[in-house]
Amino acid sequence: MRILVLGGTVFLGRAVARRALAAGHDVTCAARGASGNPVDGVRFVRVDRTDPAGLAALTGEFDAVVDVARHPEQVRNAATALAGRVGHFTFVSTGSVYSDTATPGQRADTAPLLPPAPSDAEDPTRDAESYGACKVSCERIVTEAFGAGSVFVCRAGLIVGPEDPSGRFEYWVRRAARGGEVLAPGTPDEAVQLVDVRDLADWIVTAGEGKLTGTYDGTGAPTTRAAFLADVLPEGVEPTWVPQDFLAEQEVAPWSGARSVPLWLPVPEYAGFLSRDVSASLAAGLRTRPLAETVRDTAAWLAAAGPEAGQRIGLTETEEAEVLAAWHAR
Ligand SMILES: NC(=O)c1ccc[n+]([C@@H]2O[C@H](COP(=O)([O-])OP(=O)(O)OC[C@H]3O[C@@H](n4cnc5c(N)ncnc54)[C@H](OP(=O)(O)O)[C@@H]3O)[C@@H](O)[C@H]2O)c1
């Protein structure tokens, strides 16, 4: 097949290109080349999607297209430029499109969405809500342009694994390697849900091959934080559970960023964010590998890529020790 990845210079886009090449497809990646490099073996076409004429260098027909964009304007420009030349279109969306983050067990086909972003929305990276609203708009633009009979909307959950630029999963891999007393956020039974980037890429490529259409969540089945940590931490290491109210008192942030505990989200307001019912996705072909494999390969990537890889976020060693000392002294 002739496959076009709109993106393909970072994390998921690179994984999709790599997986498509491994399956023997003819792969084109189109981006500015500003965020990173495409993988070896693809045809790289330099495009700037902010300009309606910026995709002119993309010629010919494509059996399958995969788009990771966040800006409705960029998606509209691509849809216009590729009109009539696309067999199947996968739009990589996000679980941030959902308006109800609190209710566990929601399904992609029935969960309520955020209102779409206004047509002049410019900065989807401003906050989670504008990001989600822009992705709602992007989903609609793609579906209107190519038709529901040709479009797979893949609402990715938390994507982890080698080459993740976010630092979130990496925090736990590095934390496990450091040893000592480990701070675990919240309670052991809270939900954690994620997908290995290679499993998501695999599903996206097979979806193009099999012309899967419809809207699905692109993430694995939920697990508990205790089970997550049991896979991440060395055998026998029991973390110290620190409740969310105490973390908030200590000005520890959830999810991401400085002085945060990555992948932790407060409940009940986010009890539904990492606990989606993905039985439809698994039935539609998503296959997920054991978490221990993702941990091992992420550690190997970090070791091979050196100190510049990923992004160091989360509590520093000193901050974690201070919070743990305060917890024990309470
Ligand atoms: N990471 C997660 O946990 C997570 C969770 C849910 C959903 N998602 C979704 O999953 C996808 C991740 O994709 P990704 O890992 O490949 O990273 P990404 O950061 O979404 O990649 C964006 C791609 O678009 C290209 N691009 C940006 N501006 C452009 C422009 N003006 N013209 C042409 N190309 C442009 C970038 O390349 P250049 O800068 O080189 O042009 C890059 O290849 C996204 O759709 C994201 O919303 C991620």
Q: Which of 46, 159, 194, 311 to mutate to test the pocket of ligand 1 (most atoms within 8 A of CB)?
A: 159
CB distance 116 to 136 below 8 Å:
yes
Rounded distance, CA 89 to CA 170, Å?
31
pLDDT value at residue 278: 98
Angle at 273 between CA 252 and CA 168, to 5 degrees: 50
Q: Are residues 116 and 242 in the same domain?
A: no
Closest-lying ligand 1 atom to the alpha carbon of residue 96: 6
User: pLDDT truncated to tens, each residue of the chain (330 aa)?
Assistant: 999 999 999 999 999 999 999 999 999 999 999 999 999 999 999 999 999 999 999 999 999 999 999 999 999 999 999 999 999 999 999 999 999 999 999 999 999 999 999 877 777 877 878 999 999 999 999 999 999 999 999 999 999 999 999 999 999 999 999 999 999 999 999 999 999 999 999 999 999 999 999 999 999 999 999 999 999 999 989 999 999 999 999 999 999 999 999 999 999 999 999 999 999 999 999 999 999 999 999 999 999 998 888 889 999 999 999 999 999 999
How many C-beta atoms lie closer than 10 Å to residue 258's C-beta?
A: 11
Residue 192's beta-bridge partner residues? 223
Rounded distance, CA 39 to CA 14, Å?
6
Cis, bond preceding 268 (omega within 30 deg of 0):
yes
Please name the residue whose Cα sits nearest to atom 45 of ligand 1. 68
Q: Are residues 184 and 76 in the same domain?
A: no
321 CA to centre of ligand 1 in angstroms: 35
Structure tokens at 328: 């024990």
Please name the residue whose Cα sits nearest to atom 20 of ligand 1. 68
Tell me, what amino acid is at 296? R
Which residues, 6 or more positions from 298, have their beta carbon under 8 angstroms from its beta carbon?
Answer: 160, 161, 162, 164, 169, 170, 173
* Residue 71, domain member (yes or no): yes
Number of domains observed in the structure of the chain: 2
* Coil, strand or helix at 168: helix
Q: Are residues 19 and 141 in the same domain?
A: yes
Look up tokens 């998606």; give the residue.
Answer: 75
- Residue 262 dihedral angles phi and psi, to the nearest 5°: -60, 145
CB distance 40 to 102 below 8 Å:
no
pLDDT value at residue 161: 98
Please name the residue whose Cα sits nearest to atom 35 of ligand 1. 31
| Sign of the Cα pseudo-torsion (249, 270, 328, 262, in order) | negative
Please name the residue whose Cα sits nearest to atom 25 of ligand 1. 7
* Residue 34, domain member (yes or no): yes
Rounded distance, CA 210 to CA 35, Å?
30
Q: Are residues 100 and 227 in the same domain?
A: no
pLDDT value at residue 129: 82
Rounded distance, CA 330 to CA 325, Å?
9
* Residue 128, domain member (yes or no): yes
- Output the domain CATH number for residue 115: 3.40.50.720
* Residue 134, domain member (yes or no): yes
319 CA to centre of ligand 1 in angstroms: 32
* Residue 30, domain member (yes or no): yes
pLDDT value at residue 308: 83
148 CA to centre of ligand 1 in angstroms: 23
* Residue 280, domain member (yes or no): no
69 CA to centre of ligand 1 in angstroms: 5
Q: Are residues 88 and 179 in the same domain?
A: no
Rounded distance, CA 305 to CA 36, Å?
14
Please name the residue whose Cα sits nearest to atom 24 of ligand 1. 7
How many C-beta atoms lie closer than 10 Å to residue 105's C-beta?
A: 12
Closest-lying ligand 1 atom to the alpha carbon of residue 14: 16
* Residue 281, domain member (yes or no): no
* Residue 279, domain member (yes or no): no
pLDDT value at residue 127: 80
Q: Which of 4, 12, 135 to mutate to test the pocket of ligand 1 (most atoms within 8 A of CB)?
A: 12
Rounded distance, CA 21 to CA 41, Å?
7
Rounded distance, CA 254 to CA 269, Å?
12
Residue-number span of the structural domain to which 14 is assigned: 2-160+194-218
Q: Which of 11, 35, 195 to mutate to test the pocket of ligand 1 (most atoms within 8 A of CB)?
A: 35
Ligand 1 site residues, Cβ closer than 6 angstroms: 7-13, 31-35, 47-50, 68-70, 74, 92, 94, 156, 158-159, 166
